[in-house]
Structure 1
Amino acid sequence: MSDDLPAWAVRLRAERRNRLWSQREMARRLVEAADEGIRPRLPSRETMIRRIKAYEAGHNRPGDPYRVLYVRAFGLTEAELFGEPVAAPTREDDVIDFVAWIEQTNVGDGTIGMLAEEARRLGESHAHVPPARVLSDVVRLERNARALLSGGRQRLRQTRELLRIEAELLAHACILLGDLHRNAVAMTYGTAAAMCAEEAGASPAATLSAQAKTERWRGRLAASADLARRGYECSPPTQLRVLLASQEANAAGLLGDKERAREALRRADEAAEARLTQDSGISPWSCPRPRQALYALSVALQAANPEEALHAARQAEAAWASGDPRVPATWAQIRFGAANAYAMMGDLHGAAEQIAPVMSMPPEFRMSTVTNYLVELDARLDDRRFQGSDVAVTLREQIRDFTSAALSAVGAGEGA
C-alpha cells in the first residue's frame, strides 16, 4: 500500500508516472542526465531498472549519484523529491521558488514561433513542391516538435501551442501520404492529428478535412462525407470552411446522393461569399475559386452532367485569368475533368485537346488526385462507341504512359 511507503518513494513513482515514462524509460532518462564523469560508473540498463523498482518500492533510498540524476531528469530540486512534504507556502522565498518553477521550460517562445512559421511555410509549399519531398520535410519538423513535447517541461500554454503545431503537421502528413497512395498510414497520422487538436483545445476542422480526403480514397464515402460535414460545422470563417463543404459534396456525389451534394455545394458558395479570413490560396486548407470549381466539376461528372462540368471548368479558367493562384495539381485535374466531360459527350478531339498540355507534367507531381481522373477517362474510352477510333487508342496510350510514370515517381520517392 502507498500509505506504508516513504514519502520520497511515492514521489519518485508519481513523478515518473505523471510523465508517462515506463521504468525502462526512467532508466534511459537517468543515463542521459549523467555527465561524462558519472556515466562510465553507471551499471547496465537492466541493473538500473532493478534499482528503480527498489527505490519506488521504498526498499532503499537513492544515494549518490542517483539522487543527482533523479533531480536532473525530473527538473526538480532535491528537497522537492527527497525532502519531507511542506505546508502551503507562507514565506516570500517560497512564493519566489514557486514562480521560478512555473517559468521553467525546455523551449522558448521564439523556438515555438519558428516551428509554427516553418509549419506554415511547408503548407504554402504544398502546391508547388512534389509531395514526396514535402512529406520528408513535414515528418522531420513533426519529430522536432514531438521531441520538445516529450521533454515535458513546457509551460501549459507552450504545451498547447506545440500540440496545435503537431496537429497541423500530422494532418498535413496525412494528406501527403494519401497523395502518395499510402492511405492506411495516412489514417494513422490523421487519428493522431485529431488527438493533438483535442488536447490543444484547437479547432479540429483541418484534421477532419485531412481524414475526409483519406476516407474518400479508401472508398469509405459515407464516412468521408460525415467527417467533412463535422469539420464544416466547427470550422472558423476561413477558406477551410469552403473546402469542407466542397469535400462533403464530392463524397455525397460519389455515393449517388445528388440532393446532399447539391446542398453541400450551395453551402460552399455561401461560405465563399461570406467575409472570410484570407490566406495565400495555396495551402492544403485553402479553397480558392479554381479549387472550388474543381469540386463542382467532379460532382457534375458524377451526376452525368457534362455541360455543367464544362461550365465549372470555365469558371476555374476565368478565376485564373483574374489573378487567382494557379496550383499545378488543380490545373491538371480541371483539364482532365473537362476531358472526361467531352468524352461523355462523344467528343474525343475535345478530350484530347484538354489533356494535351498536361502530358508533360513532371512525374513527381502526378499524385493520386490527378491520375484518378485519367483512370476514369480510360474507363470511358473503353466504351463500345469508341471501338475502332484511332483517337481513343492514342488517348489510352497517353494515359498509360502518364500513370505509369506517376507510379514510378511514387516508388522512387518512398525509397529515398
Structure 2
Amino acid sequence: MATEREEGDTSGHEIHIECRKIVVPVPTELPAWAIRLRNERRSRLWSQKTMATMLRNAADDETRPSLPSLASIQRYVRAYEASDHCPGELYATLYCRAFGMSHEALFGDDRADPVGLPTEHDAESLGAWIATTNVSSEGLLHLADAAGALAENHSRRPPIQVLADVTLLHDRVQKLLRSGRQRLWQTHELLRIDSDLLSHACLLLGDLERDGSAKAFGRVARQLAQEAGANEARAMSAQAKTARWMGCLTESADLAAEGFRRSPPTSIRILLAYQEANAAALSGDAARARQAIGRAEHAAASAGEDDSISAWSCPVSRQAVFAISVALRNGDPDVALRGVAMADMSWSDAPSPPSTRTTWAQIRIGAGIAYVMKGALDSAAAEIAPMLTLAPEYRIATVTRYLAQLDQRLSQRRFLHSREARDIQGRLHEFKAAALPLHVTEDK
C-alpha cells in the first residue's frame, strides 16, 4: 500500500493508492532439438539464409527441384529454431546431411511437437514429401529400355556375360527401391522392371545348370510382378522352363498353361503354349501336348510374324525347336524333320550360324536325333557337324542337355556294334568337355 498526497490538496487528508503486481509471462524454454539446430548453425557462423542454402544443397538431384524457394526455406529455418514446429522427415534428413550429424545426435528423443493447429508450413512440407522421389520418369524409361536390351541380346551373347549385366541392373533397381522413396506408380514400375530382370536371370541360371538358384529367382520374380500389379507371364515362363529342367514335368506344363491364360496376345503367349506342349509330351501326355500345340499355332497365327530374338519372343525358329521336341517325344521323326526345314527356311537369308546360336544348335541336334531314329547315322553326323564348332561359351545346358538325348539314342542296342555311332558319340563327348567352366556359384 502506498501513501501520497494529491498535488494541490491542502486538506491534509492522505489518499491511499493500491499498487497491483503486474506479472509478465516468461517464454517457455525451447526444446533441446531447437536449441541444437540454432547452436549448430551459429557454431559454423552461418546465417539463417546460409542455413537455408545448405539445406537446399543437401538435397539430391531428384529432390531439389521439388523444394520451395530459398526464401521459404529460410522461413522454415526461423520457425524451426523458434520451435514453432519441428522438421518433418524430409527437412530432418537435410539438416543431418548439412551438419554431418546423425538423426539421434541432432534431434534426440525430444522432438515431439505439441498438438496444435496445422500450419501453412505443414501443408507445404507434406506437398514436398509427396513430390519427393529418387527416380525420374526418364530414369525409369532408361531402366526399362536397358532391361529390354538385355532380353534382346539373350541369344546373341554368352549367357554368363548377359547374367553379369542383368545382375548389375538388378542391383541398381534394388538400390533405388531400398535407399529412397518414389511415388507409388514409380515404385510399381521399378518392381515390374525388377520382375523382368529376375525372370531373365532365372532363364540364364538354368542355361548355366544352376537350377536351384534359377528356381529361387523365378519365385521372387513372380512375387515382384504380383506386388507391382503387373503381368506374371514372363516369370511363369521362366518358372516353367526351370521346372522342366528339374524333371517336374507336370508342374512345368501347369505353370505354362496358367501363364498362357494370363498372358496378353503377344509372343510370350506362343512361347507358353509351346512350353506346355513340350512338358506334356515329355511326361507322356500326348493328348495334352497336341492340344497345346494347337493353341500355340493359333496364337502364332493371331500374333503375326515375329522377327524378335528376345528371351520372351517365339519366332519361327524357336517354334520349330518346340515342335521338333514334341515330335521326337511322340516318336515321329518325319514331323520333326519338317520342323527342321521350317527353321532352316526362316534362316535362309541369315549368316551361318545365325545370331541365335543356341536355337540353331538345338535345331541341328533335333535333326540329328530324327535321323538316328530313322537309322540314318550318316545324315545325323552331317546335321550335327556344323554345330560341333559352336564356341565354348555357347555350349550351355540348353544345348548339352539336348545333346545328351542324342548320345542316349546312339547307345541303343541296335547301334551296339556301329563304329559310326561310336565316332559320333566321341565327338559329342569332346564337344561337352571343351565347354567353358561356369564361374557361377550355386547357393547351398
- Same fold by TM-score greater than 0.5: yes
The reply to whether residue 254 of structure 1 matches residue 273 of structure 2 is no
Change (3 A) 1:86 1:381: farther
Deviation at 1:354, TM superposition (A): 0.5
1: distance between equivalents of 2:112 and 2:194?
35
The reply to whether residue 298 of structure 1 matches residue 325 of structure 2 is yes
Task: Specify the alignment match of 1:10 in structure 2.
Answer: none
Deviates more, 1:315-324 or 1:301-310: 315-324
Task: Specify the alignment match of 1:83 in structure 2.
Answer: 113
Task: Specify the alignment match of 1:327 in structure 2.
Answer: 356
Match among 323, 336, 345 for residue 309 of structure 1: 336
1: distance between equivalents of 2:337 and 2:303?
28
Length-normalised TM-score, structure 1: 0.78
Task: Specify the alignment match of 1:198 in structure 2.
Answer: 226
Match of 1:344, as an amino acid? M
Q: Is the 8 A contact 1:105 1:153 kept in 2?
A: yes
The reply to whether residue 222 of structure 1 matches residue 254 of structure 2 is no
2: distance between equivalents of 1:208 and 1:251?
14
Q: Is the 8 A contact 1:297 1:312 kept in 2?
A: yes
Deviates more, 1:160-169 or 1:370-379: 370-379
Change (3 A) 1:397 1:323: closer
Unaligned runs of 5+ in 1: 1-29, 43-61, 71-77
Task: Specify the alignment match of 2:310 in structure 1.
Answer: 283
TM alignment of 1:376-387, pairs within 5 A: 376-387=405-416
Change (3 A) 1:148 1:239: same
1: distance between equivalents of 2:113 and 2:306?
54
Match among 201, 206, 209 for residue 181 of structure 1: 209
Deviation at 1:64, TM superposition (A): 4.1
Structure 2 SS opposite 1:359: helix
Q: Is the 8 A contact 2:281 2:326 kept in 1?
A: yes
Deviation at 1:110, TM superposition (A): 1.7
The reply to whether residue 144 of structure 1 matches residue 172 of structure 2 is yes
Deviation at 1:332, TM superposition (A): 0.5
Deviation at 1:152, TM superposition (A): 4.2
Q: Is the 8 A contact 1:310 1:341 kept in 2?
A: yes
State the identity %: 45
Q: Cα RMSD (Å) of the superposition? A: 2.7
Match of 1:320, as an amino acid? W
Match of 2:348, as an amino acid? A
- Post-superposition Cα deviations, 1:227-261, rounded to whole Å, max 9, x if no partner, equal 00010001011100000000000000000000000
Q: Is the 8 A contact 1:248 1:264 kept in 2?
A: yes
Q: Is the 8 A contact 1:254 1:302 kept in 2?
A: yes
Change (3 A) 1:315 1:363: same
Structure 2 SS opposite 1:65: helix
- Post-superposition Cα deviations, 1:44-86, rounded to whole Å, max 9, x if no partner, equal xxxxxxxxxxxxxxxxxx864245xx9xxxxxxx9xx732456
Change (3 A) 1:32 1:328: farther
- Determine which structure has more spread, i.e. the larger CA radius of gyration: 2
Match of 1:352, as an amino acid? A
Match among 387, 406, 422 for residue 393 of structure 1: 422
Structure 1 SS opposite 2:186: helix
Q: Is the 8 A contact 1:133 1:413 kept in 2?
A: no
Q: Is the 8 A contact 1:107 1:148 kept in 2?
A: yes
The reply to whether residue 269 of structure 1 matches residue 297 of structure 2 is yes
2: distance between equivalents of 1:33 and 1:355?
68
Q: Is the 8 A contact 1:135 1:176 kept in 2?
A: yes
Match among 95, 110, 117 for residue 145 of structure 2: 117
Q: Is the 8 A contact 2:307 2:315 kept in 1?
A: no
Change (3 A) 1:279 1:199: farther
2: distance between equivalents of 1:104 and 1:279?
41
